[in-house]
């Protein structure tokens, strides 16, 4: 932990192929986002770590991300948890050289990787958050999905106020497991989605479901599909955004279809058979190909 102008901070090294400003485009895609705040080139977020709420600002400096702690330094162990979270959030451990080499030879991706080079898959490091977000987003548009998430977070998350702004944490599975379907339906979730979220919360609370367990599975997709409410799209979304599977491919994703329609100058959306054919060259990097195509829509 270092100190500059009376503010405590630490720095996290970033890869050569990292563009924070490109990542901010994705982070700033919804005005309803309430789990962090983007202001100019700074991201502010609060995490709950070992029963402590830790607020930090994040800004880019040469070769690193600088994290400042305006409310005081977290403990040494929580500082390391913040570091791990940010590295996970921005996928800083992945070497993209092979992806870029592949993409430069692909007629669909070559222009995108030139335009957005340094963009990383912006993850959802918390498994419960990733699963809930995947369930909430099923068969609705992105705007309403953000509305539901905002209500969920502000009803059951924890928060603190800094400089007259309130910062929220995502609700814990332990807290959600104590709720009823009626409680969640009050947020305008369907009864079925409420049941799914409660089931996930219970499984995580009793230890039958965890990120650590999934990461050890040889077939993560199959394990995710065994969770009630998680289908192929949701499973691949969670694999991509939380479990860092580079081969995750949400084939049925509407955003992917729309992006391909635009990039291919088609009058209709491509079929899943056509998408599978397009994606043959992407093998091993389907997640990044999808994320760069999503970026083209912003």
Alpha-carbon torsion, ordered 212, 213, 219, 225, to 10 deg: -110
Cα separation, 219 vs 223, in Å, equals 7
Which tokens hold the place of 193? Answer: 């989605």
Cα separation, 24 vs 18, in Å, equals 12
Catalytic residue IDs = 253
What is the separation, in whole angstroms, between the first and last Cα of the chain? 36
């Amino acid at each position: 932990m270092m100190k500059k102008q009376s503010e405590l901070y630490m720095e996290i090294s970033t890869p050569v192929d990292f563009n924070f400003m490109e990542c901010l485009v994705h982070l700033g895609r919804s005005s309803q986002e309430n789990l962090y705040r983007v202001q100019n080139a700074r991201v502010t977020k609060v995490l709950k770590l070992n029963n402590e709420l830790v607020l930090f600002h994040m800004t880019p400096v040469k070769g690193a991300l600088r994290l400042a702690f305006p409310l005081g330094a977290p403990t040494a162990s929580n500082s390391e948890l913040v570091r791990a979270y940010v590295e996970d959030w921005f996928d800083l451990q992945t070497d993209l050289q092979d992806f870029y080499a592949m993409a430069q030879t692909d007629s669909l991706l070559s222009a995108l990787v030139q335009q957005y080079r340094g963009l990383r898959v912006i993850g959802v490091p918390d498994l419960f958050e990733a699963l809930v977000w995947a369930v909430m987003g099923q068969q609705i548009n992105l705007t309403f999905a953000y509305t539901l998430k905002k209500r969920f977070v502000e009803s059951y998350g924890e928060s603190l106020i800094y400089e007259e702004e309130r910062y929220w944490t995502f609700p814990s599975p332990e807290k959600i497991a104590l709720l009823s379907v009626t409680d969640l339906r009050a947020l305008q979730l369907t009864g079925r989605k409420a049941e799914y979220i409660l089931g996930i919360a219970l499984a995580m609370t009793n230890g039958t479901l965890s990120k650590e367990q999934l990461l050890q599975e040889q077939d993560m997709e199959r394990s995710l599909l065994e969770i009630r409410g998680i289908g192929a799209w949701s499973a691949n979304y969670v694999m991509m955004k939380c479990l860092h599977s580079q081969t995750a491919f949400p084939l049925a994703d509407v955003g992917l279809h729309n992006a391909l329609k635009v990039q291919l100058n088609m009058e209709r959306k491509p079929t899943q058979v056509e998408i599978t054919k397009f994606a043959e060259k992407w093998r091993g990097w389907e997640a990044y190909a999808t994320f760069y195509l999503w970026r083209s829509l912003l």
